Structure 1
Amino acid sequence: MDSKLEQPNESEKETTPLEETPKAKEKTKAEWLVMIYLAGDNNLAEECVFALTEMKRIGSVDNKMEVMIHLDTTVHENAVMRVKKSIKPGDTNKELMEMRDERIERMRRRAANPEDESNTDEDDEQSGVVFNFVKKCIDKVEANHHMLILSGHGNGTADSFLREEDEDADGLSVIGMAQQIERIRKDLLNNRQIDVLGLDSCLMSMGEIAYMVHNHVKVMIGAEGFEPRA
């Protein structure tokens, strides 16, 4: 008599738990996203850090206003952070030093494995540094309105914008700045204009500059003359 192999019950079969699909991190939502680029890799370094310290007196306001800064100095290179309210002495320096250590670690990994694209620091590309900063902010925050403030050295159309102390370093031309503003509108804001563009630099309210960005921003604010230490 042929014997039939006993088939296991469904309940007896080994089951492997399904791997959970990692959820995309939800964006923070706010009415306004304020993005401030502090170009302090020059004699403005102290002023930029002081400005950040003053911003932290108010900080971001949940659901209403998210404030993000990009700080570039000789010590803190390309540090991007959310401005949180804090008046405790040393908090700003502690946060900046932690970000500096993380950047150094990324540089070490990149040196050890240059083919690993995850270690690439896109901020090293001067031609797109403003665009990259705004992209990082928009990737984290979903807002109805956007304000972008560029703070550093400026000479209107006569010289480079947001230049560094190193004379051999290539600054950002005014045309290059306008091109990045256009990319931000088209690639990051779905053709929506930036609500407010602030140019916290000397001689940056020239008609030529306003014309370069008039299709991409609603309101431009800039200094008519020279700013102290800018």
Structure 2
Amino acid sequence: MNKTKLSILKFLIITFFVFCQLNAHALKDVKVAEWSFFVYAQTKNDLNNFFAKNLRDMAKVGSSDKLNVVVQWEQPKKIGTWRYKVQKGSIDLDYHTSALTGKNIAKDVIDFFKWGVAKYPAKHYALILSGHGSGPIDPSYFANRGILFDWENRTYLNNQQLVEMLDGIKRDVLGGKKLELLGLDACLMASLETDYQIKDRVEYLVASQEQEHADGWFFSEIFKDLNSKSLNASQLGYLIVDAYKRFYEKRFDWYTQSAVNISEIEILKNNLNQILIGIQNCKKLYGNSFTNVIRSARNNCAQFNVPIYVDLHSFYSELYNQLKAGKKSPSEINDGFVNYVISNEFLNNSKDVENRENLVFKDLTETPTNCLDLTSTTSSDKVELQVQDNTMSLLDEISSSIVSSEDELTLLAESSDINFKSGEIENLKNDLWVGMKAIEKIVIANTVGKNIARAKGISIYFPKSSNVDNSYMKTEFAKNTLWVQFLVDNMR
């Protein structure tokens, strides 16, 4: 080797060594926070002014050594990517590029999360998706179903793209680990279908069963505790729900939010299948009379402003109680919405799902037409709000409580003259009881207004007809449960 080549080699070695040293010092200077709280806000719609209020609320507390608050804000008529670091008292532009966004929302969110983790590392990560939402159904764009609706690009994130997004985050950013907490700051997303769709990708989900008020979450209260305490994901989920309760309980009688332990959702899915098998067996014994009981339970359970969604716990409770001894026949039981009154104008609207954004997204000083007594200043009834610390396995704990705790269940509906005393009926009642207790354990925090007090944190798609939306068939839940067949067999 001649001297020239040797000199070049020495130079390269020295340069590499110096680079490594400088890089090591740079890494030491990067502080690892307890939490990085990433918010992806899609407001290229009618929510832009409301999210501007959310940002000002975030800036009341802002980031600290323990907390990074970082936002990607998709704003009307703004081209490119805009990312902000929220500090106490300021909202600082952190990153901007003219590259177009909105055509592939899943990729946009993955890119944001990947960038955020690289620049703002933390021990724990939360991702909040803020925008319009409409539960587990997503056919054409004009039906406005899914989440993160971009009115300019006419795109949104559907259920399959949500999975694609979370898979990308898990695989490419988190090294195969689940995202600790996903928040869906949008309408109608706290469903069993959504829970099941994300079960292998997320540990905890915070979302609303009902239409959300446009003012969204109470971020400043959440950040106060994140800045002062060391919290795990379940504690953060509880904290978010508690802040939501404190913000809305004196403003409205109509709101929901829940935090769900997604790791246990397979248990609830298996229990549902067991219940549906039990229903099939009972129908073989009692025929159409039992079908009427099912329809009565569905009509009398807690349902929402978009009435294709009902509270799953409430349906189980109603069906359980229909199997108790009673005087009325199923055909005599009220076929209306008995849990609360909804305006006839809303119920008669054949496009209630499509038009819901015109009913809900109003300023807090106004009275949205989809709510009852929204200007009331009285506190809502006592709400369920507690963190479950389970030391027993979920099924063992639930099974041990079936006999001893059965009398604690409030009987809400009258049932039929049919003498439901077969072994199949008793098995179904036990499965329903297990299902109710499972929901109560899996939902680690739940808050509701008094006009929808029976909502327990998890809803399910339950139309009153057997016409199941085609997009629903694409969900993982529909593919892996007997639910669609149940709807076809039992709804009119």
TM score, norm. by length of structure 2: 0.36
Matched residue, 1:50: 53
Q: Match for residue 292 of structure 2? A: none
Per-residue CA distance 1:86-120 (angstroms, 9 max, x = gap): 1xxxx54xx45x96xx54xxx4xxxxxxxxxxxx5
> What is residue 34 of structure 2 aligned with on the other side?
31
1:122 CA displacement: 6.9
Q: Secondary structure at the match of 1:43?
A: coil
Question: Could you tell me how far 1:218 is from its partner in structure 2?
Answer: 1.0
Q: Which of 145, 150, 169 lines up with 1:164 in the alignment?
A: 150
Superposition RMSD in Å: 2.5
Q: CA deviation at 1:83?
A: 1.1
Q: Among the aligned pairs, what percent are the same residue?
A: 24
Q: Does the Cα contact within 8 Å between 1:44 and 1:152 map onto a contact in 2?
A: yes
What amino acid does structure 2 have at the position aligned with 1:197? L
Counterpart residue number, 1:225: 210
Equivalent residue letter for 2:148? L
1:192 aligns with 2:177: yes
Q: CA deviation at 1:47?
A: 0.9
Moved more, 153-162 or 25-34: 25-34
**Residue of structure 2 aligned with 1:129, choices 103, 108, 111:** 108
Structure number with higher helix proportion: 2
Contact 1:28 1:140 in 2 (8 A): no
**2:132 is the alignment partner of 1:153:** yes
2:72/2:84 contact within 8 Å kept: yes
Residue 160 of structure 1: CA displacement? Answer: 2.9
- Give the deviation of 1:156 after TM superposition: 0.7
Q: How far apart are residue 126 of structure 1 and its match?
A: 2.9
CA contact (8 A) 2:180 2:204 kept: yes
Q: Deviation per CA, 1:157-213: give whole Å up to 9, x if none.
A: 2223101123x6221112101221121112101112111111110000111111111
Aligned partner of residue 162 in structure 1, secondary structure: strand
Name the structure 1 match of 2:123.
Answer: 144
Q: Deviations over 1:23-44 (max 9, x none)?
A: 4553441111111111111100
Letter in 2 for 1:157: P
Q: Any residues of structure 2 matched to 1:5-154 within 5 Å, and which?
A: 21=19, 23-24=22-23, 26=27, 27-62=30-65, 64-77=66-79, 78-86=81-89, 91-92=90-91, 95=92, 103=97, 107=98, 125-154=104-133
Structure with larger Rg: 2
Partner amino acid for 1:186? R
Query: How many equivalent residue pairs?
Result: 188
CA drift at 1:124 = 5.9
Taking a change above 3 Å as real, the CA distance of residues 197 and 174 of structure 1, as seen in their structure-2 partners, is: same
Residues 218 and 33 of structure 1, relative CA distance in 2, 3 Å threshold: same
Gaps of 5+ in 2: 1-10, 138-144, 215-360, 362-492
Distance 2:181 2:105 in 1: 23
Query: What is the letter of the counterpart of residue 105 of structure 2?
Result: Q
Amino acid at match of 1:163: F
Taking structure 1 as the reference length, what is the TM-score of the superposition?
0.73
2:201 aligned to 216, 219, 222, which one? 216
Q: Would the aligned equivalents of 2:136 and 2:194 in 1 still touch at CA under 8 Å? A: yes
Do the aligned partners of 2:102 and 2:150 also contact (CA within 8 Å) in 1?
no
More displaced 10-residue stretch of structure 1: 22-31 or 202-211: 22-31
Structure 1 unaligned spans of 5+: 1-15, 108-119
